[in-house]
Structure 1
């Protein structure tokens, strides 16, 4: 585990898929994550009723003061099989990234980006940037993005009685940091985890 405090930067993004009741709505089957910042030994997957969570221990980057200018990048590709009950449609998707940490104001920048799909439909990319010139030092902060999924995949797709109930949720989570001059720093890591990513799925009955 990495150490937290007012030094290393914690990035979190908790991936939570919420439905209207796990047994009646969606059954999830997560698969092994893969990427430069994740594998089966440093990633934990939890299913709590309506929520699926991936917790990453090695998805952070660390560029400390004294290092020459350079960059560091990590990514993880995750997948979860989903079996969606008939009679409902996906009305809303909320993505949340929880993160914190520290970077020097000048000479460094970073970003956290997710690119996700559900049943083959692409979700709008979600990106949080920590630009050069921004002084960042926070233990924990959450930022959200909400998409009207009924526009992406209309209700008549989900409510078709001949729809295949099985599909996939996929996401590629990328974390990067860059130092552009000596003495600058950015570190993305935490005490209990490096990254958590969360997405909340809002289902509605067909005909509503």
Structure 2
């Protein structure tokens, strides 16, 4: 008992000394460098030929509709949108969009792709840390499966080009979300939208009541 007491006192004194002296410059600089993105994005646009899509009906995302429109793409981005008078730089590959409709990519702000893949098996169903109603410390990006077939279907069938992946609704505080580019990648960092802020999932009402009330524990009501 005496030895345990001495060890406890020694540990307390050491912690107090650390607190008084503050972190070393190396530790402080490492902490500052990590910021809010300890798992930084490694996304980069795919290389490709500069392309002009011509002759399509273009919806510009701001309420405008352009008949016989032209859209220029280069370096993984839309660089210009206009009507048939828009100049096409030399070297651009032309694609005929006659009879087609073009819209901006859709941003899905509430998605569980990757955390609940489709088709799904238990090994990849990781959207809810339903062991406690308050889990702000968990991150959706840690359980995203980049090879979820749902990503490619969302792009091909729905035009989804970016997604915010959220934890599920079992918990009052479900954890941190992550914003992804809908591109094929081996890791979630290869999909992370550069510079996008993190979000936070909270849920009230029926889902936490159902999950935890059914176990005879809080929250079982909205109180």
- Which TM bucket (shorter chain)? under 0.3
Higher helix proportion, which one? Answer: 2
Higher strand proportion, which one? Answer: 1
* Greater relative contact order (Cα < 8 A, sep 6+): 1
TM-score, normalised relative to structure 2: 0.23
Rg: which structure is higher?
2
